[in-house]
Amino acid sequence: MTVHNIRVGESKRGDASDGTLAESVGGRLSRVDGPAKITGAARYAVEQQLEGLAHAVLVESTIASGKVRAIDAATAEASPGVLRVLTPDTIISLRTASDWFGTPPPDKPYCPLARDITFCGQHVAAVVAETFEQAVAAAALVKVSYDETPSIVDLDDGKAGDGIPIDAMTKEWGDAPAAFAAAPVRICAAYNTPREYQAPMEPHGLIARWEGEHLTVWEPSQWLDGMARTYAEWFAVPFGNVRLVSPYIGGGFGSKALALSHGAVAARAAKMLGRPVKLVMTRPQTFTGYGGRAATRQTVTIGTDREGVIQSIVHRGVNETSVDGMWVEPLGSVTSIMYATPNFSSKQNVVRVNSVVPGAMRAPGENPSAFGIESAIDELAYEIGIDPLEIRLKNYAEQDPHTRKAWSTRQLREAFAAGAERFGWARRSPKPRSMRDGNQLIGWGVAAGTYPVRRAYGEAVVRILADGSVEVESSSIDMGQGTYTILAQTAAETVGVRADDVVVKLGDSRFARAGVAGGSRLAGVMTGAVSKAATSALDQLVGLAISDPRSPFHALQANTLVVANGRIGSPRGDGPDVSIAELLKSVGRDRIEATGDTMPANSTAEDRYKNYTTIAMALPHTEGDYSRYSWCAHFIEVRVDEDFGTVRVSRVVSALDSGRLYNPKLAESQWKGGIIMGIGQALLEEGIMDRRHGRIVNNNLADYLVPTNADIPDIEVISVGIPDPHSSALGGKGVGELGIVGVAPAIANAVFHATGKRVRDLPITLEKLI
């Protein structure tokens, strides 16, 4: 089997603009996995070539609600190459697994193929054949009959009702309704976002292989250890018997963090057949195989005095969830902290509809929450007659309004200043429809965003090898955010070697443990773990050099030594100067190995297992004396064709506070990726349902519109962050989720400035403007 090692190449070295070496933490080292990807050398999970590989294809329900009456698989079973047709009656049931919090599961069997249909596109059968083409042809011959019942298609369905209150989402202080009623200036508006889908370039899929009671799964995964736990529980085998391998990931955006029913089907098929099975979803299947962002509805009311100082915010939200699952999109998350107010009330319901359970999509909660509050604060500025930037500064929250704790760092005021200056905000004409270029109406909009600093514990192994190179090993993953690169930089800086002498091994659950790559927490967690492991390895190296009688430094009587550029010397330069390789050879060692584990010292084995396989031990971002968040401010220009109503984003300047940047080049790329997704959310993306049958109409990349190069202008991003020691070991805060938060309202606000029309329902399409 191929082992995926990433070594930094000579061509990737250079200097940062501030003088920091590119190979040090804070340097602008290019992604070390880049050459493998652009040359085709990178082998993704489902590209493994295994002997005896069979292929599985799913059959999905064509109704949204009801029961499977019968499945006629006779013709399919008789088709060429077919090995097995799996149905709810023929697949061997599994055990129910605990959820991602580790909640003990109910004592009942789990069948990944459904008899009771709760959404259109649910897996009801699977065909396994010798070739993919044979499986596809046979799957088309499977006949399923149903007893159909009425469905609830979406939040607008008359049968949906008001939903279920989620008490945990309630946040209140003061008397917000009374303060709103008494406020001299009041605004109240509803803001809606549709279903959105992650649509990663790489579809979901896997290869499963059993060897006795040991299961290996090659699957794109944002959380190897968490998914391995689920597979182990499904099949009632020890956790150590399951190995997840995910060397590269072609996009996830939250959709690849959990083991899902298609994985259970493939692994069970492999067990039943005694040979490896490959199952890759079609593009339409990815729209129902995992839930995207839930549709949301929010009502935001704000009351202020006549100068625009906020007196009250009342927020009511609702999101859709599935009939047989629960997903809460925390819609008050930004509303409750962005602005200072003495009176606040936020409540939320969920409504059950016939869809797959929604799930995490880049900045879940914060993204739609910001659309509501940042659109409303813009409306308030126009109502009062002051600049939209001024009203944000006037109501700046000097501490967390909810917890009453100090911010760990909050460079939002600096973000507003830097973004406004670079964008030229002072030249903005305040009146809507007052800026134009020929038949193009020009609008400028601003909005703020935030994302909490999610923290946890990590583990890494660092080895100093006989040839002087350094090896880093962790079950954490790289889905394009740069884990390979920043861990190489961390180890290189700490040990004192060049970055191109560091080999990083990721994406294998047999390596040192790591938690989920989600919530923008992996970089902060894993740089801390690698730094600790590398420090320990360096201490061992220096200790050997000083104490071992065979060492050339033994007679020096030094208390410490200097390790730099792969060489060891005396701090005063009055002794030997040898390479790491020469030292290890002299003392008869072929390696030094250290584990960096950031778990508390008194942690039990069960604590460690929970930390890496569930999110139950994640540290609250408001733990202790501080409230920890990343922050951003987006300044966006749009051009709206006055005749046709088409909207183009023509300029973006965003200033962001993510603390210390481990690699500014990679951070800037992540910010820009989030901003691009925000442009898609604002202008293009919308899951469209056939209301007769509850089917997704645009379940493909031709009809589900995402931004292309033609839709995106030059994007300028500015870092205003300072190191935040309260958020991570090396001072960084979350990067990946932050950039998308606030983009959609900034665009909506710019569209209003351009046209005088306030669009409160995303996406902003031409029929809403004409």
Whether residue 283 is contained in a domain is answered as yes
18 plus 64 within the same structural domain: no
Residue whose pair of structure tokens reads 């909660």 in the numeric block = 365
Average pLDDT (746-756) is 98
Examine the domain organization and report whether 14 and 98 are in the same domain. Answer: no
Q: Is residue 210 part of a domain?
A: yes
* Mean pLDDT within 725-741: 97
Within a domain: 194: no
Same domain, 644 and 535: no
- Kindly report, residue by residue over 67-78, the tens digit of the pLDDT: 999 999 999 999
Q: How far apart are CA 458 and CA 527, in angstroms?
A: 9
CA distance 633 to 616: 32
| 520, burial (CB in 10 Å: exposed 0-12, middle 13-18, buried 19+) | buried
Percent of the chain topping pLDDT 70: 97
CA distance 168 to 153: 26
- Are both 76 and 111 inside the same structural domain? yes
Query: 428 is in which domain, residue-wise?
Result: 399-453+622-768
Does 8 have pLDDT greater than 90?
Answer: no
Do 468 and 415 fall into the same domain? Answer: no
For residues 537 and 664, state if they share a domain: no
d(CA 332, CA 631): 16
Classify residue 167 by burial, with Cβ atoms within 10 Å: 0-12, 13-18, 19+.
exposed
* Number of domains present in the structure of the chain: 3
| 348-374 confidence digits (pLDDT tens) | 999 999 999 999 999 999 999 999 999
Q: Token digits for 448?
A: 């703020």
Marked catalytic residue, from 60, 374, 686, 737: 737
Residues 551 and 413 in one domain: no
Domain assignment present for residue 312? The answer is no
Classify residue 268: in a domain, yes or no.
Answer: yes
Q: Which of 273, 289, 305 is the last residue of a domain?
A: 289
Average pLDDT of the residues in 104-132: 96
Count of beta carbons in the 10 Å neighbourhood of residue 16: 18
pTM of the model: 0.96
Contact 367, 741 (CB under 8 A): yes
Say whether pLDDT at 612 is over 90.
Answer: yes
Query: Within this chain, do residues 34 and 95 fall inside the same structural domain, yes or no?
Result: no
698 contacts 767 by C-beta, under 8 angstroms: no
**pLDDT, mean of residues 390-419:** 98
Question: Please, which pLDDT band fits residue 559 given cuts at 50, 70 and 90?
Answer: confident
pLDDT category at 9 given cuts 50, 70, 90 is very low
Domain boundary residue among 613, 631, 661? 613
Beta bridge partners of 635: 446, 653
Higher pLDDT, 739 or 11: 739
Question: Side by side, which strands form the sheet with 577-579?
Answer: 562-564, 567-569, 577-579
Q: Do 659 and 558 reside in the same domain of the chain?
A: no
Instruction: Name the E strands within 64-110.
Output: 66-72, 82-86, 94-95, 109-110
Within 10 angstroms of residue 184's Cβ, the number of other Cβ atoms is: 11
Q: How many residues does the chain have?
A: 770
Least confident of 2-16, 319-333, 573-587, 742-756: 2-16
Here the tokens at position 134 are 């044979």
Give the end of a domain, one of 258, 289, 320: 289
Task: List strand residue ranges (DSSP E) for 412-509, in order.
Answer: 436-437, 440-452, 459-465, 470-473, 502-505
pLDDT at position 5 is 59
Token digits for 207? Answer: 């290869």
Residue 328 lies in a domain: no
* Helices 483-495 + 522-547 axis angle, to 10: 30
Q: Are residues 99 and 211 in the same domain?
A: yes
CA-nearest of 324, 325, 318 to 351 is 318
Q: What is the pLDDT of residue 746?
A: 99
Three-state SS sequence of 98-161: CCCCCCCCCCCEECCCCCEECCCCCEEEEEEECCHHHHHHHHCCCEEEEEECCCCCCCCCCCCC
pLDDT score, position 141: 98
Would the pLDDT of 755 be above 70?
yes
Alpha carbon distance 276, 249 (integer Å) = 21
CATH of the domain at 421: 3.30.365.10
Q: Is residue 499 located within the same domain as residue 647?
A: no
Are the C-beta atoms of residues 112 and 123 closer than 8 Å to each other? yes
pLDDT confidence of residue 654: 98
Neighbours of 602 (CB within 10 A): 6
Does a cis peptide bond (omega within 30 degrees of 0) precede residue 763?
Answer: yes
In this predicted model, what pLDDT tens digit does every residue of 289-298 receive, in sequence order? 999 999 999 9
Give domain status of residue 545, yes or no: yes
Please state, rounded to an integer, the average pLDDT across all residues of the chain.
Answer: 95
What was the pLDDT predicted at 6?
Answer: 58
Domain contains 125 = yes
**Cβ proximity of 29 and 15 under 8 Å:** no
Q: Is the pLDDT of residue 20 over 80?
A: no
- Residue 737 annotated as catalytic: yes
Q: Do 435 and 480 lie in a common domain?
A: no
